[in-house]
């Protein structure tokens, strides 16, 4: 009888622990004080925030070596990553945390330093919202936008997202190089990031070529 009680107690503790780990995903937005690690949300594939109509998710995504993680916005139906926070620092482990602190900063830890941050310390941030457009928005008083992922694209543009002077899309490296799409001096340029960048397409050049061809008719 005593052994049965012990087994029942152990089962109850394990069940309670599993329920704590498998927390419900947040929908729409989260608030200052929230923290999350990949290991806490493993049963939800690392995603802890969903957009209102569950079109996009935000959370951890397995990097190339399956031992480290990136923080991403992902289109759920297509399983397509559309924005990545820490592309320059992929060595985030399952115990490292995403943090929305009380001082207005949102960041991803890597050990004792930041792998990524919104750099909004001191701002009166009230919530972090994932929109059905795929835009991740840090809001302040009166709904003021303090930071948004649409202003910091990585390798994907979404419907309704502006692409303006100073922005750049960068592909993941292949053979130690990446391709870039960038607004440069009023021109939209596609180039390969060798030590000396090699441009292989330009919007202005395309327009000039088209105008020249039309003038020949």
| One domain, residues 117 and 91 | yes
Lowest-pLDDT range, 98-112, 120-134, 187-201? 187-201
* Higher pLDDT, residue 115 or 191: 115
| CA end-to-end span of the chain | 97
| One domain, residues 98 and 203 | no
20 domain-assigned: no
**Which structural domain, as residue segments, surrounds residue 121?**
25-152
In this prediction, residue 11 carries a pLDDT of: 40
| One domain, residues 179 and 94 | no
For residue 175, pLDDT over 70 is answered with no
Taken in order 115, 119, 124, 128, the sign of the CA dihedral is: negative
| One domain, residues 139 and 38 | yes
Query: Tokens in use for 82?
Result: 């559309």
What DSSP state is assigned to residue 153? -
Q: How confident is the model at residue 23 (pLDDT cuts 50, 70, 90)?
A: confident
In this prediction, residue 3 carries a pLDDT of: 44
Number of domains in the chain: 2
Rg (Cα) of the chain, in Å, rounded? 22
Maximum average pLDDT range among 113-117, 165-169, 177-181, 192-196: 113-117
| One domain, residues 31 and 87 | yes
* Final residue before a domain boundary, out of 110, 131, 152: 152
Nearest to 91 by CA among 120, 111, 119: 111
Give the pLDDT confidence of 55-78 residue by residue, as tens digits.
Answer: 999 999 998 677 789 999 999 999
Does residue 51 contact residue 128 with C-beta atoms inside 8 Å?
Answer: no
Averaged pLDDT, 12-36: 72
66 domain-assigned: yes
In this prediction, residue 95 carries a pLDDT of: 94
In this prediction, residue 136 carries a pLDDT of: 98
What is the residue-averaged pLDDT of the chain? 83
* Final residue before a domain boundary, out of 124, 152, 180: 152
| One domain, residues 77 and 137 | yes
In this prediction, residue 176 carries a pLDDT of: 66
Nearest to 30 by CA among 42, 48, 44, 45: 48
Does residue 82 contact residue 161 with C-beta atoms inside 8 Å?
Answer: no
| One domain, residues 147 and 170 | no
User: What CATH number is given to the structural domain containing 110?
Assistant: 2.90.10.10
Calpha distance 100→26 (Å, rounded)? 14
Nearest to 57 by CA among 69, 46, 68, 67: 46
For residue 49, pLDDT over 80 is answered with yes
Q: How confident is the model at residue 15 (pLDDT cuts 50, 70, 90)?
A: very low
Nearest to 116 by CA among 148, 92, 81, 94: 92
């Amino acid at each position: 009888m005593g052994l049965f009680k012990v087994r029942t107690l152990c089962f109850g503790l394990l069940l309670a622990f599993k329920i704590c780990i498998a927390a419900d995903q947040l929908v729409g937005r989260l608030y200052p004080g929230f923290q999350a690690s990949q290991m806490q949300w493993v049963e939800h594939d690392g995603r802890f925030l969903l957009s209102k109509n569950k079109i996009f998710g935000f959370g951890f995504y397995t990097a190339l070596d399956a031992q480290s993680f990136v923080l991403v916005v992902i289109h759920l139906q297509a399983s397509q990553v559309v924005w990545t926070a820490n592309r320059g620092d992929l060595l985030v482990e399952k115990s490292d945390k995403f943090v929305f602190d009380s001082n207005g900063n949102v960041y991803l830890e890597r050990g004792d330093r930041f792998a990524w941050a919104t750099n909004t310390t001191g701002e009166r941030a009230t919530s972090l919202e994932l929109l059905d457009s795929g835009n991740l928005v840090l809001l302040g008083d009166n709904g003021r936008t303090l930071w948004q992922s649409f202003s910091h694209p990585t390798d994907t543009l979404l419907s309704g997202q502006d692409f303006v002077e100073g922005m750049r899309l960068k592909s993941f490296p292949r053979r130690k190089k990446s391709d870039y799409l960038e607004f440069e001096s009023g021109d939209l340029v596609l180039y390969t990031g060798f030590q000396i960048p090699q441009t292989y397409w330009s919007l202005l050049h395309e327009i000039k070529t088209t105008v020249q061809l039309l003038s020949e008719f």
